[in-house]
Structure 1
Amino acid sequence: MATLEEMRKELDVIDGQITSLYEKRMEICAEVADYKIKNGRKVFDRTRENEKLAAVAAGMSTEFNKKGIKELFEQIMSMSRKLQYQRLTDAGALGKLPFIGLDKLDMEGVRVVFQGVEGANNQAAMEQYFGKDVNYFHVAAFRDAMEAIEEGSADYAVLPIENSSAGAVVQVYDLLVEFENYIVGETVLPIRHMLAGVKGTTLSSIERVYSHPQGLMQTSRYLDAHAGWQQISIANTAVAAKKMLEDKDVTQAAVCNEYAANLYGLDILARNINDETDNSTRFIIVTNQKVFLKNASKISICFEVPHESGSLYHLLSHFIYNDLNMTKIESRPVEGRSWEYRFFVDFEGNMADPAVKNAIRGLREEAMNLKILGNY
């Protein structure tokens, strides 16, 4: 029987042969890319790759080796595609993405919409981004805001996309897929929740607490410590504050911000009741134009993947091979298709960058229903 050292030397010889053959294969892949550039052929041929995987697996003697060789060749073919995409980029064959680069956003005489009522955090985020003198109006639901910019009654909408402690605002993610609207900016607003009620309200008199579901989630420790309080979801934190003024009921209180409490003349019964002291919400600025700032540094996309092993891994590898830093990934169920998911990804980059064009080209060919949500 051979010693361990002898077996390792034999493996080294085989590995040397594999690396030599790999380099030879990639040289031929470069020639394939040149042919496809010249003849306008697509890089990714799913039927061809499936046939190749079946053929190499058929030559294996055990089920273990069949799975292993398929995984190996999936990686080899994935790397071959990336080389071909790179050659396409170098040859200028990737073209332009359907977005117009701007030096700055048009802020002159624009109209902005936000969801909620006067005093909402959405309004505070709007003023933080556009200034206090902006022409604005508010609507009852996130969908209404998306419809307003789609139909042109507003130029921009300000929408919450995620909170640092409560996570994603899933309705907004779904609406970004449904509507042909695009993210052009973002702003992060510190969220400091207060408990407020009409004059005469005390902690002992409270029976019901109203707020947006996110407001209730973000203050759950404080609220749950008062076991007798019923927690009731409402459209918006500022709507909750307005309800206190309208009802004038000392058995009710609202979780809202200080601005809304002061606006509706409420007494603040407890300050800074957030579960997390560093609580903030990221808001996106959305428009119906396919534009991006030339100095934009973040891109948001969404896509679906085939319901098969390794499909997400292969898609995410496009960020690795193009040296792009992925900063966030979120998943949402695909409506009407049980156990299938749509992925939302944020990564650093600008749509004018060749590496970004290269990655998006690969993602577009290999993913299902890729949508660029914005560059901002």
Structure 2
Amino acid sequence: MDLRKLREQIDGIDEQIVALYEKRMDISRQVAEYKIETGKKVFDRQREQEKLARVKTLTHNEFNSHGVEELFEQIMSMSRKLQYQLLAEKTGMGRLPFIGVDELDTKKARVVFQGAEGAYSQAAMMTYFGDAVDSFHVDSFRDAMSAIDEGSADFAVLPIENSTAGIVSEIYDLLVEFENYIVGEQIIKIEHCLLGVPGAELSDIKRVYSHPQSLMQSARYLADHDWQQISMQNNAFAAAKVAKEGDKTQAAIAGEHAGKIYGLKVLKKGINHSGSNSTRFIIVTNQKIFRKDAGKVSICFEVAHESGSLYHMLSHFIYNNLNLTKIESRPIEDRNWEYRFFVDFEGNLADSSVKNALRGLREEARNMKILGNY
């Protein structure tokens, strides 16, 4: 066989495929116009399943059957995306229930953070809102979300991810449960200090208190000392305990900010082994708003527990040329082995490409929710 001639035959077939594809998409455009006039939904799962079953019967072996199924899944996916685009253009259904603002109204805002005075959350809050911010603190992340949900606070500052310890899974779950939305973020460099009472020395220490993650992040330093490690709910709580009890044998791992607030002595600075350790905090409110210059969108959605379902959801980002910056999954309560996906991507809710992607996701995913644009 002559390879050149075989390739020429393939080129000829490919030209036919392209011509037929364009013809098919032209008919898809007409289908979209019909659906706009009649109010029919774009996505018809039953029709697509019947179509896939039929085209598979036209093949002559199992390999081709799987290949044709995958090919037609892609063709029908492109057809839907074209229809979503036309639907948004002609009906204005690309609009989203979020209001764009020039800037956040923070001048008279009341802000809540989780933990105690001296927590990293407080440092993040003061960096974002300024030192004169009107604030209060609560014991748990749920309490903070409830505070803005009920209106006793305008904004909440919550840690969502640490560069070494990973995500704060509870925050992801609370973002789904509450009708609160992300409007900003603040990244704080984490530098853990070993804090003791005035007059204490390293040789005096027998017990160390801190949050489990902080103990883990300082594990290399702690391994060189025979100290009892005791977990606390929050680093600031640990600092407050050591300061209150005034015991020279006790130390806390917390930020230098906490040491200043509670009058503790820095026995050792920067004991966490990662010099680039940072925590990302989100600014949350109960209003569906976004800054007009926002550049990141966060959403979550559920998909059917079947092959290719996540792939098809992500194709909406590819088609609309949107860059994903993060994807996480969390198990769905009371539904074994099913997951909710959290996605961050670059864009603004006013962008047509973002509207098109979100419309497709809303139609085809389960329980899609926009978590914020910031």
TM-score calculated relative to the size of structure 1: 0.95
* Structure-1 residue corresponding to 2:122: 123
Match in the other structure for 1:213 = 212
Distance 2:319 2:224 in 1: 50
- The equivalent residue for 2:291 is 293
Matches within 5 A, 1:175-214: 175-214=174-213
Specify the alignment match of 1:261 in structure 2. 259
| Residue 357 in structure 1 maps to residue 335 in structure 2 | no
In structure 1, the residue matched to 2:21 is 22
- Structure 1 distance, partners of 2:223, 2:44, is 56
User: Does the Cα contact within 8 Å between 1:197 and 1:266 map onto a contact in 2?
Assistant: yes
Shifted more, 344-353 versus 12-21: the winner is: 12-21
Paired residue total: 374
Contact 1:193 1:257 in 2 (8 A): yes
Q: Distance in 1 between matches of 2:262 and 2:136?
A: 18
Query: Which structure 2 residues correspond to residues 244-283 of structure 1 after superposition, within 5 A?
Result: 244-283=242-281
Q: How far does residue 9 in structure 1 lie from its aligned partner after superposition?
A: 2.5
| Partner residue, 2:52 | 53
Q: Which whole-Å CA distance do the structure 2 matches of 1:38 and 1:114 have between them?
A: 50
Q: How far apart are 1:200 and its partner, in Å?
A: 4.4
Unaligned 5+ residue runs, structure 1?
none
State whether residues 115 and 234 of structure 2, in contact with CA within 8 Å, keep that contact through their aligned partners in structure 1: yes
Does the Cα contact within 8 Å between 2:98 and 2:290 map onto a contact in 1? yes
SS at match of 1:161: strand
**Separation of aligned partners in 2, 1:224 and 1:174:** 34
Once the two structures are overlaid, the 10-residue window that deviates more, 246-255 or 319-328, is 246-255
AA in 2 matched with 1:23 = E
Evaluate the alpha carbon distance shift between residue 224 and residue 75 of structure 1 in structure 2; reply closer, same or farther with a 3 A threshold. farther
1:247 positional shift = 2.5
Structure 1 Cα separation of the partners of residues 298 and 212 of structure 2: 25
Q: CA deviation at 1:30?
A: 1.1
Question: Secondary structure at 2:239's aligned position in 1?
Answer: helix
* Residues 94, 359 of structure 2: 8 Å contact kept: no
Q: Does 1:149 align with 2:151?
A: no
Kindly provide the amino acid, as one letter, of the partner of residue 280 in structure 2.
Answer: R
Distance apart, 1:334 and its partner CA: 1.2
Unaligned 5+ runs, structure 2: none
8 Å contact from structure 1 (residues 194, 270) kept in 2: yes
Look up the match of 1:303.
301
Equivalent residues of 2:193, 2:268 under 8 A apart: yes
Secondary structure in structure 2 of the residue aligned to 1:210: strand
For residue 372 of structure 1, give the secondary structure of its aligned residue in structure 2: strand
CA distance in 1, matches of 2:11, 2:335: 48
Shift of 1:327: 1.1
Amino acid in structure 2 at the alignment position of 1:341:
Y
**In 2, distance between residues paired with 1:229 and 1:310?**
50
1:241 aligns with 2:218: no
Give the drift of 1:243: 1.0
Partner letter of residue 278 of structure 2? Answer: S
Give, in angstroms, the shift of residue 62 of structure 1.
Answer: 2.2
Tell me the amino acid that sits aligned with residue 186 of structure 1.
E
Quick check: 228-237 or 313-322, which moved more?
Answer: 228-237
What do the CA deviations read for 1:291-311 (whole angstroms, capped 9, x no partner)?
Answer: 111221111100111111111
Aligned partners of 1:94 and 1:358 also within 8 Å:
no
SS in 1 for 2:103: coil
What whole-Å deviation, never above 9, does each CA across 1:58-83 have from its counterpart, x for those lacking one? Answer: 22222222211111111111111111
Give CA deviations for 1:203-250 in whole Å, capped at 9, x if unaligned. Answer: 344333221223223222222343x23332211111111111123233
1:137 corresponds to which residue?
136
Give the C-alpha shift of residue 33 in structure 1.
1.3
Counterpart residue type for residue 164 of structure 1: S
* 2-structure distance, mates of 1:233, 1:305: 37
CA–CA distance in 2 between the matches of 1:303 and 1:209?
A: 41
* Aligned-residue CA RMSD (Å): 1.6
Is the CA contact 1:326–1:345 (under 8 Å) kept in the aligned structure 2? Answer: yes
Instruction: Give the CA deviation at 1:92.
Output: 4.3
1:83-94 aligned at under 5 Å gives the runs 83-94=82-93
Alignment partner, residue 74 of structure 2: 75
Distance 2:65 2:227 in 1: 60
Q: Could you tell me how far apart the structure 2 residues matched to 1:13 and 1:123 are?
A: 66
**Local SS of the residue matching 2:126:** helix
- Please say if residues 111 and 135 of structure 1, whose CA atoms lie closer than 8 Å, have aligned partners that are also in contact: yes
Match of 1:114 in 2: 113
Matched residues in 2 for 1:256 and 1:32: separation?
A: 62
SS of structure 1 residue aligned to 2:311: helix
Q: Indicate if the aligned counterparts of 1:149 and 1:288 stay in contact, CA closer than 8 A.
A: yes
Q: Name the structure 1 match of 2:312.
A: 314
SS in 1 for 2:121: helix
State the shift of 1:189 in Å. Answer: 1.3
AA aligned opposite 2:270: N
More displaced stretch, 311-320 vs 52-61: 52-61
TM-fit CA distance, 1:312: 1.0
Query: What percentage of residue pairs aligned between the two structures are identical?
Result: 66
Which residue does 1:323 correspond to in 2?
Answer: 321
